[in-house]
Amino acid sequence: MVRRPVAWIVALVLFAEALGVLAVNWFLGVVVDRQDMSLAGLDPDVMSVSSKAGGVVFGLYFGLCGLVALLVALRDRAPAGFGKVLLISAAVVHALLGAFAWGLIGWTAFLLMVVVLALIVLLLMTYDGRPDEPQPVDAGAPVSPPAAPTAP
């Protein structure tokens, strides 16, 4: 089946993205701090700390999303509750990042965001309504009587 490999790929991609976002924002914070740059009169120390804190927050967010995907891959069960909401929010974030990336960076960054979005949506859709799960019994349906035993 496709479900487990997709979950493993999504987990790896989200962990890599978490590390990448953390590293880029930390690097930007260090650059702002060392060059003592200011933007519209803002304190450079505040800008540096804000960049590092944003990197940590978004790195942890993508890391948590990767952890949910990893648990889905290990258990081979659909994400439920908070995990499903987290993956849906990650899909929305990637859609928005893709839209911004098209205008600010270019089509290659847009394509990367769309691929990650597609992987997350594929993960969510492949575990939706699995045929091997037991279906609930309808209480209003007539129950057939047990078969009569046959004589030997």
SS (H, E, C) 66-101: HHHHHHHHHHCCCCCCHHHHHHHHHHHHHHHHHHHH
Between CA 50 and CA 152 the distance in angstroms is: 82
Are 124 and 91 in contact by the 8 Å Cβ rule? The answer is yes
pLDDT at 134: 54
Low-confidence ranges of the chain (pLDDT < 50): none
Between CA 136 and CA 9 the distance in angstroms is: 32
Q: Which residue has the tokens 């990042």?
A: 97
Between CA 35 and CA 25 the distance in angstroms is: 15
Cα within 13 Å of Cα(84), Cβ side: 10
Between CA 119 and CA 9 the distance in angstroms is: 8
pLDDT at 131: 53
pLDDT at 104: 87
| Nearest of 66, 95, 97, 98 to residue 83 by alpha carbon | 66
For residue 142, what is the DSSP state?
P
pLDDT at 22: 95
pLDDT at 17: 93
Buried b (16+ CB within 10 A) or exposed e, 77-107: ebbeeebbebbeebbebbeebbeebeeeeee
pLDDT at 76: 85
For residue 141, what is the DSSP state?
S
> How much is the pTM?
0.77
pLDDT at 152: 63
